[in-house]
């Protein structure tokens, strides 16, 4: 007598195949996502090359022409110019700026050399790629400013870790490591942006001035063991005692 519970083997196989497909991510979608990511990176690299060739005022039509695609293709992978600018900024930081900063911070240097090397890395990186930097800053308004802020935040967080470790090694108060790091990064970034826009002094002079300012702050912190209470408890003449004596 036939057993109604026994199913056709082909039906069982078909059902299992459907369940298997439902359980696994769609391979085509995954491959498309991977392709889109890779293609965006290629187009961003092409955009950076086009900016270096055509200058900071390049438009979307010129970018597409230099890459060798239509503008329609660009908009297939980027929502708009702002999206492309954000991706360009992220790529520039990831492949150019951040590695040079990390290399400087990670070097086996004394405190003064570390300060100068880090400032030099930032200034010289921007100076060597002025059109890319200025394109990003000029087109990074609105949502793009967050991308710029993210890069500054990333560098400041790394610097604050280094500052904190060095202060603790010297048994000093490390509580100000984070605001000091943000202050240094913000000051250097803004001064470099001013400089790259007008070039009123040499790269070496800019590095010297920024190093002097930053190191003056570092030595001031060290003089009071990083303690705001000790800092506030002592007088703050503009000239050091030896210079005051010479002035008299």
| Chain segment 62-111, per-residue pLDDT in tens | 999 999 999 999 999 998 888 898 888 888 888 888 889 888 888 788 88
Cα angle 162-166-168, degrees, rounded to a multiple of 5 = 120
Backbone angles phi, psi at 66, to 5 degrees: -65, -35
To 10 degrees, the CA torsion angle through 55, 117, 217, 209? -50
pLDDT, one tens digit per residue, over 34-70 is: 888 899 999 999 999 999 999 999 999 999 999 999 9
SS3 of 76-113: HHCCCHHHHHHHHHHHHHHHHHHHHHHHHHCCCCCHHH
User: Is residue 156 a contact partner of residue 105, using CB atoms and an 8 Å limit?
Assistant: no
Of 228, 159, 226, residue with least CA distance to 189: 159
Instruction: Identify the pLDDT of residue 12.
Output: 46
Evaluate if residue 1 carries a pLDDT over 50.
Answer: no
Q: Is 26 left (phi over 0), alpha (psi -120 to 50) or beta?
A: beta
User: What six digits make up the tokens of 82?
Assistant: 């702002």
């Amino acid at each position: 007598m036939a057993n109604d519970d026994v199913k056709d083997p082909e039906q069982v196989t078909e059902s299992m195949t459907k369940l298997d497909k439902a359980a696994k991510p769609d391979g085509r979608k995954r491959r498309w996502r991977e392709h889109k990511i890779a293609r965006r990176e290629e187009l961003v690299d092409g955009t950076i090359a086009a900016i270096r060739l055509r200058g900071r005022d390049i438009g979307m039509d010129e970018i597409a022409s230099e890459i060798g695609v239509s503008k329609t293709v660009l908009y297939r992978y980027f929502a708009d110019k702002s999206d492309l600018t954000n991706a360009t900024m992220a790529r520039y930081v990831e492949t150019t700026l951040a590695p040079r900063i990390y290399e400087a911070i990670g070097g086996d240097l004394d405190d003064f050399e570390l300060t100068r090397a880090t400032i030099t890395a930032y200034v010289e990186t921007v100076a060597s790629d002025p059109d890319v930097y200025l394109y990003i800053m000029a087109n990074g308004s609105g949502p793009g400013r967050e991308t710029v802020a993210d890069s500054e935040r990333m560098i400041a967080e790394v610097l604050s870790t280094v500052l904190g470790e060095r202060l603790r090694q010297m048994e000093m108060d490390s509580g100000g490591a984070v605001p000091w790091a943000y202050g240094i990064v913000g000051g250097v970034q803004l001064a470099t942006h001013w400089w790259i826009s007008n070039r009123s002094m040499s790269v070496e002079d800019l590095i010297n001035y920024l190093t002097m300012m930053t190191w003056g702050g570092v030595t001031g912190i060290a003089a009071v063991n990083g303690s705001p209470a000790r800092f506030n408890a002592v007088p703050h003449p503009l000239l050091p005692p030896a210079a005051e004596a010479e002035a008299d």
